[in-house]
A and B are shown apart, each in its own frame.
Chain A
């Protein structure tokens, strides 16, 4: 057996808060052999990134190692002094960081930043370094590398920046590359390309990789060996396939059963069918009640609740000089949302999916085309009463639960605000309603008096959903509503959405970039690319028999598809 390249033994890391040490990593053991890929999997706060940063001595803020050893190539790094310790960075241990947008210095040309790595690690200097930079960028898969090297980071797309960061991380030919969530900020198809490239490159160069990720599917597909971390501890480690097929620890079992990319297709489909059946029935009742109450809208209980026809949005962008050029963000999109069902709009960033959502919400005026709600053109709404009625019955939930709640409002006030605006009930009735809503989203009544910063991301998203439901809407537009959440929380929220739909007969317009979650919630799927709908079909149809090349690419890019766990 060869000697391990990296061996972490009983590593403890703590952050100092006030006078106390708060432990973040508690007794991690981990081994990476030369050329091997090891993945650390865990949710945010599990200590996976902290462990990786300890290896290169770049713990943020007050973080420090309190016990344990980190051996690299037979040398205990913890026993080395500052300067010798730092000499491992770059030329023996490389890093590909998480967010490509913030990890390049915006003030320097990309080429200069890679050249810097070559120079400080004594790989090459001057003209030779310039030539090497171009080779490295080419190696990282950037076309026209010579011109690209002279550009600034803001002239690069996210995927290109990540390629440049890979080039920089591998520039000094390290023996170990730490890849900290290298693609989580990228679109799924770009993600696949970059990971494929990184795989090939590290194989070719014989570089060992320590992959940090929250995505179990991705980890299983890319790594030989998995380490599952939970609350600062390693709960399970072993060969990737073995953990996937036969997880021992309850946390790993939960992680596998809720990973959307790994869930059994049939199970999701049958669960979904039950939900839909109940939901459509409930929706019909709601619709009939509304008509009986003589709503501001025409109202037929049978037709689709939302119908978009030839929706088009053209933005004017500044062109050369004083001229403007047209940018078609959304190009003749048509769809119908049936009562009690979910229509998902899937696409990569820039596909126009969020623009469609904003037009449906009447927050953005379409350039042409119409959105009909209950048979009435939303664009023709003139009276205040009609507008209020529309706003009441169609509610949004946005992606970022941190940003969509006012930090100065208590949870009670946040949920009460729409009720007060629409003049619903007395103070007492409103309080009862809020209690009821919190109960529906499975939050304890005690959170009413708390503020958003005291809640976790999942709890905040529940609050945002409770607020959207406060006015008893019929349609909820969910714009990337689960994308910012950890898998386990994501699975809980998706289940909550399904339960609420069945109970209240809600209709969802579900906007997402993640095809994997679509299967668990959607009945109809629209795949958008560059403002156009390229494929539109039932959810099962899209997954089992995708017709368009683009849809096939999106499906193939879902990580973990090649590894099917035993169900």
Chain B
């Protein structure tokens, strides 16, 4: 067990190295001059330019830039953003916001998706099931930014149930609408996955045997059908937490949330290598750790799985 966890954590090292190198290469190859981007229309003197180039290591080949970045990252120093603030500070401010958003979205999609999928599966072919299938198909088919703007318009501007944008006040109520939008697509997948899994488990031999033993239907469904159906759903949800944090870029843009997605997006526009790469590194680590946690949870849920 511990050996397994250690091995999985060691795997993080090549993953982080590879992904940062890839990002560094892509940012380096990106057209445009970061110094020009920094000063906008204002002219830049040769001396200032040379000084800035040296300060951000822009005069070095990108491999060297990357190695210098790694050196700093090892001691928690991600460098200084072009705005003059340390990148680690920017991340520390943005990460909790996105994390809150992603976890709210995850809870929303898990609870609603599993409940709706469970009932749809039990009442296969009935009106609730058909409705849910159509709804989930629409949600999957329509791009998320369309749904996001629509919901913002309806609930934020016309009905005014919630504020249309979030800004700096990230209270629970302010975040409900963005979390719903963010979790919407995954909700549709969770629903469909749960439904299929429930239908499959309903015809399992051991479910029939439990009925033959005199276990009442409701109890059979909860104990034997629902729990067994959760195994693929949990796998999906775990992988989805990482995807939600990355996918927050669009939602954070729509609702003006100062999260990690917005931070990365702005940094990419400005060509700020240190910020972009730092954000990506943090996301990669979060992704690897959550998928490890999911795999461990999987073993709790399914006793047949043992890690060695």
**Interfacial residues, chain A to chain B (CB-CB below 8 A):** 56, 58, 60-61, 86-87, 89-91, 94-95, 97-99, 102-108, 113, 116-117, 120-121, 152, 154, 165, 168-169, 171-172, 318, 321
Contacts and interface: CB of A to CB of B under 8 A. Distances in A.
Interface residues of B, number: 26
A171 B308 CA distance: 37
A232 B162 CA distance: 65
A46 to B, nearest CB: 20
B304 A102 contact: no
Which of B206, B227, B302, B304 has the most C-beta atoms of chain A within 10 angstroms of its own C-beta? B206
Given A107-B303, A116-B215, A97 B208 contact: yes
A99 B304 CA distance: 19
Contact of B214 (A98, A103, A105, A121): A121
A89 B205 contact: no
A60 B203 contact: yes
Given A58-B212, A95-B212, A99-B205, A120 B219 contact: yes
Given A107-B302, A152-B304, A321-B3, A102 B206 contact: yes
Interface string B94-109: 0000000000000000
Contacts of A60: 203, 208
A98 B205 CA distance: 9
B213 interface: yes
Main secondary structure, interface of B, reads helix
Given A105-B228, A106-B302, A56 B212 contact: yes
B213, B223, B224, most chain A CB atoms within 10 A: B213
Contacts of B3: 321
In the complex, the 3 A-B pairs of residues with the closest C-beta atoms, listed nearest first? A90-B214, A95-B212, A102-B205
B206 A104 contact: yes
A190 to B, nearest CB: 19
Nearest to B304: A154
A91 B213 CA distance: 8
Contacts of A104: 206, 209
A152 B302 CA distance: 10
Interface in B71-88: none
A152 B214 CA distance: 21
Given A103-B209, A169-B213, 7 more contacts: A97-B212, A103-B206, A104-B206, A106-B302, A107-B228, A116-B210, A168-B209
B214 A86 contact: yes
Given A87-B214, A105-B224, A120-B216, A95 B209 contact: yes
A205 to B, nearest CB: 17
Contact of B206 (A61, A87, A94, A105): A105
5 contacts: A58-B208, A58-B211, A61-B203, A86-B216, A116-B223
Which of A86, A99, A165: most chain B Cβ within 10 A? A86
Contact of A105 (B210, B211, B212, B308): B210
A95 B206 contact: no
A89 B211 contact: yes
A231 B142 CA distance: 53
Given A105-B224, A107-B227, A154 B303 contact: yes
Interface string B181-215: 00000000000000000000001111111111111
Contacts of B204: 102
A116 B224 CA distance: 11
Nearest to B306: A154
Contacts of B150: none
Contacts of B211: 58, 86, 89
B62 to A, nearest CB: 39
A213 to B, nearest CB: 18
Contacts of A105: 206-207, 210, 224, 228
B81 to A, nearest CB: 45
A121 B216 CA distance: 10
B301 interface: yes
Contacts of A87: 214
Contacts of A102: 204-206
Given A107-B227, A107-B228, A154-B304, A90 B206 contact: no
